[in-house]
Amino acid sequence: MKQKNELLSKNQQVVFELIEKANEPLKAYSILSNVQKKGIKAPLQVYRALNKLMEIGKIHKIESKNAFVACTNNSCKISKASAFYICETCEDISEVNDSKLTKYLSSFKGNNDMKVNKYNLEFFGLCKNCRVR
Amino acid sequence: MKQKNELLSKNQQVVFELIEKANEPLKAYSILSNVQKKGIKAPLQVYRALNKLMEIGKIHKIESKNAFVACTNNSCKISKASAFYICETCEDISEVNDSKLTKYLSSFKGNNDMKVNKYNLEFFGLCKNCRVR
DNA sequence: TTATTATTGTTATAATATAACATTTTATAA
DNA sequence: TTATAAAATGTTATATTATAACAATAATAA
Ligand SMILES: [Zn+2]
Ligand SMILES: [Zn+2]
Ligand SMILES: [Zn+2]
Ligand SMILES: [Zn+2]
């Protein structure tokens, strides 16, 4: 079975591996400085890789932080539905994986006539760790 | 009865009035250029007003656009819960006002141990107008 | 092959946002 | 009222995030 990373180009792979290994969201210029030894020299090279990776759903952008994380939820590979928990204290971020929520939001109509085909949701709060202390 | 705008300082009022009158989300530097005749000269003056206005829930930031809109939903004055429809074609943005959604998300637990005290949701899709054409 | 599309490399620049510091205004309470 | 604290302002400089424009190369498909 073909591994998915084979589908990625060289720069995309380099950027993706870094993001995947990180245990926190990474910012574009931090990514840049970490991949310069791998031959990526300019911001645009990073942004191009990031854009592609988002497009194919392998990473997501945390809009409120301008930072990027690897998708931990196969079901949003389509990159049409993403949701995150963000701890306001320790900045820890985790992706929500809740099929009910996905279903609810994907088919949400509300008061409006909009046909929704994508959404992004960010929950802010206190993670378990930060609550205990 | 006291009008709420009285609570705003001069710069906050100037910035808020501009945003409130606009029928589209405004970006910080566009706000700046539109209030220079009112004596606001520097980006920081705009950002400070914006931050305060967000804090008290009179405006919201559309994170995916780095732009600001007036709140059209009194119930989120507390600035703890916001949701938007964003048309991907005409860029029209409207705030979701749906108490069920608010309730559902405000009390959302999911798989995580996080205690949620705030969220931001952005729906992307096609508005009625753009669907017809 | 040859045309089309995706990817890369590179330099410059645009757009968004904050740091740091000095001053002034407004609110609070002794 | 007057001292004190808190909030808001003014200003310059700078940090951070992101794209424009153009040239070259590699991968894919008709
Ligand atoms: Zn995901
Ligand atoms: Zn935490
Ligand atoms: Zn609102
Ligand atoms: Zn539209």
Q: Strand pairing of A81-87 and A115-126?
A: parallel
Q: How many CA atoms lie within 13 A of B131 on its CB side?
A: 10
pLDDT band (50, 70, 90) for residue B4: very low
| A33/B76 Cα distance (integer angstroms) | 40
Average pLDDT score over chain B: 90
Residue A120 has pLDDT above 90, yes or no: yes
Tokens of B5: 């705008």
Contact state of B125 with A108 under an 8 Å Cβ cutoff? no
CB distance A110 to B98 below 8 Å? yes
Residue B5 has pLDDT above 70, yes or no: no
Could you state, in order of their start, the residue ranges of all structural domains in chain B? 5-70, 81-132
CB distance A67 to B123 below 8 Å? no
The residue type found at A24 is E
- Higher-pLDDT residue of B65 and A74 is B65
CA–C1' B129–D17 (A): 33
A55 closest-nt by C1' vs CA: C6
CB atoms within 10 A of CB A79: 16
Q: Looking at A80-84, A112-116, B80-84, B117-121, which range is the least confident one?
A: A112-116
Distance, C-alpha B133 to centroid of its chain: 28
- Which pLDDT score is estimated for B2? 34
Contact state of B85 with A112 under an 8 Å Cβ cutoff? yes
- Which pLDDT score is estimated for A111? 67
Distance, C-alpha A75 to centroid of its chain: 13
DSSP 8-state assignment for residue A133: -
- Which pLDDT score is estimated for B113? 81
- Higher-pLDDT residue of A112 and A33 is A33
- Point out the residue nearest to D26 (C-alpha to C1'): A9
SS3 sequence of chain B = CCCHHHHCCHHHHHHHHHHHHCCCCECHHHHHHHHHHHCCCCHHHHHHHHHHHHHCCCEEEECCCCEEEECCCHHHCCCCEEEEEEECCCCCEEECCCHHHHHHHHCCCCCCCCEEEEEEEEEEEECHHHHHC
Report domain B5-70's class.
mainly alpha
Most confident of A105-109, A113-117, B22-26, B115-119: B22-26
- Which pLDDT score is estimated for A69? 97
Q: Taking residues B127-131, what's their average pLDDT?
A: 88
| A57/B64 Cα distance (integer angstroms) | 17
Q: Taking residues A19-23, what's their average pLDDT?
A: 96
For A43-90, what is each residue's pLDDT tens digit?
Answer: 999 999 999 999 999 999 999 999 999 999 875 656 789 999 999 989
Q: What pTM did the predictor assign? A: 0.93
| B65/A63 Cα distance (integer angstroms) | 9
What residues of chain B, 57 to 86, have a C-beta less than 8 Å from chain A?
63-64, 85
Question: Looking at the partner chain, which of A64, A114, A131 has a beta carbon nearest the beta carbon of B63?
Answer: A64
Report domain A81-132's class.
alpha beta
Average pLDDT score over chain A: 90
- Which pLDDT score is estimated for A17? 98
pLDDT band (50, 70, 90) for residue A9: very high
CB distance B108 to A123 below 8 Å? yes
- Which pLDDT score is estimated for B77? 58
